[in-house]
Structure 1
């Protein structure tokens, strides 16, 4: 974002017969993004973004460097970037504590400022759901009932409903999502295609900590010992990818062998599935597949995944090759 110049205040008049004292220059102050909290404010701010395409990055707040990478990638490819910060109540089930989710708006705004965001849309639920709990929602269909959908019933319906609304409200040309939420990314692509949304969905590789843990807002809940336990998820994915040349059974076996050595991680699932159908790939399968894992460490539920090329020259991928993608 270009810096905004700040004018120096007028100096006091110099006494007669003397030269005016020099006025120290005022350093430029970096301009921050416009913040819109209502639909009208968003509409007015969005009207100013006319000289090029507009990208959107949707978040629930508690931004971290993974979000920053999404924003920076969008910034590199689009003329303007809009970030939405909205903690969507429809995505939380009755056993999930919405009030526990971290709210860090000031630090979120600092990340947006550093990344050069043009516009932040940060509405409250009554702005998004003007008539209360929506009677009509987007259904995720069968793909929303497996894996994360089985563990969190209704989660993906709530997610797609708010994504659809935010795509309409922001009128973005492109939308950027991380590969870490692979099932969410697949369902958004399906919704955009099936319902003819005029937007291109772009995937960005998962961003990881130095130790391999996938970045997530939920990581802040982990104790030091929990974090050490949680590393088994990414280690299992890497072990599976290392066995990709040997076929699906070898991939699953290698990944499971890592997880069984960590009894403190309560694993919900470990699967190797087709990236478009989420169905288990058979032993003869060769091509791209999704190796995904989910489990609970302490009180925190974590997910991770790795795109894999299965076959003689197989191994890990950053994102799948048959979809729009952007390098991190």
Structure 2
């Protein structure tokens, strides 16, 4: 494993690999790695000659300063986990290395993908995501980049980013990895007590029941049903539940033949914000 803290040595190493006709895979992360991240890295190792994992807690995608401050960081543990997987290059830059003197987001038009769900509740979040991903793509110049479907809206945003910028990167979406309880694996789970982790599994249980209902009930009925379920839950506070078109992410009122749909959810466990989603068509 090689660790790069500055972009220039990484760029030179990548150019050498590419001159030999080899491919580069990129797995962007904010650290606090878990099995979900490692599954992305394993997919990248299967499909790339050289894998680069970036570890960078990106300040511009946090609309809440407290959330940024509390975000878990454990670089030593992250490196230990990655070292067990194979010959991986790790890019762990300081903010100035990526942004220069001014740590500011670019502004993007993602054709409405950024205005719903997470974008509605986290002002400027996807401009921050787009900024850092675009910069990483420019530095690493990967053939493929791997993102988890847990952040499905982010996945669609990144796909739109490559389409609009013309960056020649294939975006690979990877399935959600879950804990035994069904709770989607997330770095934020580390802040949950064991007891609250079990309670948070209610999120996925509700998504599965919503999927069953989707076969016979309307989107509005299911939304009201989910909201009522959370009102009765003593621990979790629902922020939003939406059924949306998988491609456009637009909220639906009725189903149309040939389209694919997903259910999206965000909820708070105390002050810890958790998100999840489920495909409704398979």
Q: Provide TM-score, normalisation by structure 2.
A: 0.92
Question: 2:230 pairs with 232, 248, 259, which one?
Answer: 259
Contact 1:54 1:174 in 2 (8 A): yes
Change beyond 3 A, Cα 1:130–1:271: same
Deviation at 1:210, TM superposition (A): 0.7
CA distance in 2, matches of 1:301, 1:116: 33
Which 10-residue stretch deviates more, 149-158 or 86-95?
86-95
> Are 2:259 and 1:290 equivalent residues in the alignment?
no
- Three-state SS of the structure 2 residue aligned to 1:156 is helix
> Are 2:35 and 1:65 equivalent residues in the alignment?
yes
Match for residue 239 of structure 1? 209
Which ranges in structure 1 are unaligned for 5 or more consecutive residues?
1-32, 310-314, 316-328
Match for residue 271 of structure 1? 242
CA distance in 2, matches of 1:93, 1:171: 28
Question: 1:47 pairs with 12, 15, 22, which one?
Answer: 15
Match for residue 302 of structure 1? 274
Equivalent residue pairs, number: 278
1:45-103 deviations in whole A, cap 9, x for unaligned? Answer: 22332342111000001000000000001111111111001111101124443221111
Change beyond 3 A, Cα 1:49–1:251: farther
1:1-328 equivalences under 5 Å are 33-50=1-18, 51-134=21-104, 136-140=106-110, 142-249=112-219, 251-252=222-223, 255-256=226-227, 258-286=229-257, 287-309=259-281, 315=282
Contact 2:60 2:104 in 1 (8 A): no
CA distance in 1, matches of 2:93, 2:245: 36
* Higher Cα radius of gyration: 1
Between Structure 1 and Structure 2, the one with more helix by share is 2
1:136-188 deviations in whole A, cap 9, x for unaligned? Answer: 44444532122111111001100100000000100100000000001100100
Which 10-residue stretch deviates more, 284-293 or 172-181?
284-293
* Greater RCO, CA 8 A, separation 6+: 2
Deviation at 1:41, TM superposition (A): 1.8
- Three-state SS of the structure 2 residue aligned to 1:181 is helix
CA distance in 2, matches of 1:305, 1:136: 28
Which 10-residue stretch deviates more, 267-276 or 223-232?
223-232
Deviation at 1:240, TM superposition (A): 1.2
Contact 1:85 1:122 in 2 (8 A): yes
- Three-state SS of the structure 1 residue aligned to 2:238 is strand
1:14-67 deviations in whole A, cap 9, x for unaligned? Answer: xxxxxxxxxxxxxxxxxxx11111122212222332342111000001000000
- Three-state SS of the structure 2 residue aligned to 1:211 is coil
Contact 1:93 1:155 in 2 (8 A): yes
Q: Provide TM-score, normalisation by structure 1.
A: 0.80
What root-mean-square deviation, in Å, do the aligned CA atoms of Structure 1 and Structure 2 show?
1.9
Which ranges in structure 2 are unaligned for 5 or more consecutive residues?
none
Which 10-residue stretch deviates more, 247-256 or 115-124?
247-256
CA distance in 1, matches of 2:33, 2:255: 41
